[in-house]
């Protein structure tokens, strides 16, 4: 598998996922500060010109959550996704989809200073609803699905980690801060986020 990556990007999350799975991969560093996401070669792989991008044989997977979901299913023996068709799978999907689909667009507008939008029409409602969602979804102890760490924690926990780091989440509650600390304590997280790694 080829993992198109940049150490200063969301691709650290998919790299972390690859390390959680101990999955063999070729790391292809794409320097977006140098136009490398705009080359015809890269755009032919991913027209969005974004990292992370995962290429597995003929399959191209883009988007952090899609890549994490794909990898969790590709290595079922690692137990990073609940069984297909189980009740837990519904909860799992919620954790996988909410960050990129709903929370991130809201924080993007917030960081651009855009506050005037119709809460009933936009997919994320408003800041208050997003913060309440984060608070409700953040586990009190352990992980998103209970005592078993899954890809849901890579996606949701990884997103909260970014949100705290970038000041999107200005005043994380004690529960959110503790969950992010648990995330950061994982060996694979530490390895993938270690600046001396590169």
Ligand X SMILES: N[C@@H](CCC(=O)N[C@@H](CS)C(=O)NCC(=O)O)C(=O)O
| Residue located via tokens 């994490």 | 68
Q: Both ends of the chain: CA-CA distance in Å? A: 19
Contact between 64 and ligand X by CB under 6 A: the answer reads yes
Closest CA to 50 of 106, 101, 19, 9: 9
CB 135, CB 160: distance < 8 Å: no
| Residue 160 in the binding site for ligand X (CB under 6 A) | no
Single out the segment in contact with ligand X by CB under 6 A; choices: 15-23, 44-52, 127-135, 186-194: 44-52
Distance CA(144)–CA(43), nearest Å, equals 35
Residue pair 150/72 in contact by the 8 Å Cβ criterion: yes
Angle, to 10 degrees, between the axis of helix 174-184 and the axis of helix 127-137? 60
Q: Is 32 in the site for ligand X (CB under 6 A)?
A: yes
Nearer to ligand X, 5 or 143 (CB): 5
Q: How far apart are CA 187 and CA 32, in angstroms?
A: 28
In the set 28, 45, 75, 100, which binds ligand X (CB under 6 A)? 100
Counting contacts by CB under 6 A, is residue 49 touching ligand X? yes
Q: How far is the CB of 111 from ligand X (least distance, A)?
A: 13
d(CA 34, CA 30): 9
State the minimum distance, in angstroms, from the CB of residue 96 to ligand X: 11
Q: Between 49 and 88, name the residue whose CB sits nearer to ligand X.
A: 49
CA distance 59 to 71: 12
21 in contact with ligand X (CB under 6 A): no
Q: How far is the CB of 83 from ligand X (least distance, A)?
A: 26
52 in contact with ligand X (CB under 6 A):
yes
Q: How far is the CB of 101 from ligand X (least distance, A)?
A: 10
Give least dist CB 10 to ligand X, A.
4
Any contact of residue 37 with ligand X (CB under 6 A)? yes
Rounded Cα distance between 172 and 167, Å, is 10
Applying CB under 6 A, the residues found at the interface with ligand X are 9-10, 32, 37, 49-52, 63-64, 100
């Amino acid at each position: 598998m080829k993992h198109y990556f940049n150490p200063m990007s969301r691709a650290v999350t998919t790299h972390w996922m690859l390390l959680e799975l101990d999955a063999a991969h070729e790391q292809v560093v794409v320097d977006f500060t140098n136009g490398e996401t705009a080359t015809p070669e890269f755009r032919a792989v991913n027209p969005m010109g974004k990292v992370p991008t995962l290429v597995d044989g003929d399959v191209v997977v883009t988007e952090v959550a899609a890549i994490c979901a794909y990898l969790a299913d590709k290595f079922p023996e690692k137990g990073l996704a609940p069984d297909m068709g189980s009740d837990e799978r519904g909860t799992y999907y919620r954790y996988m989809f909410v960050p990129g689909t709903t929370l991130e667009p809201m924080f993007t507008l917030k960081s651009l200073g855009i506050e005037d939008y119709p809460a009933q029409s936009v997919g994320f409602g408003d800041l208050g609803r997003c913060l309440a969602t984060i608070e409700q979804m953040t586990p009190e102890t352990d992980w998103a699905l209970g005592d078993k760490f899954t890809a849901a924690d890579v996606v949701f926990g990884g997103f909260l980690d970014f949100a705290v780091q970038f000041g999107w989440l200005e005043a994380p509650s004690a529960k959110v801060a503790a969950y992010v600390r648990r995330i950061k304590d994982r060996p694979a997280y530490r390895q993938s986020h270690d600046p001396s790694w590169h």
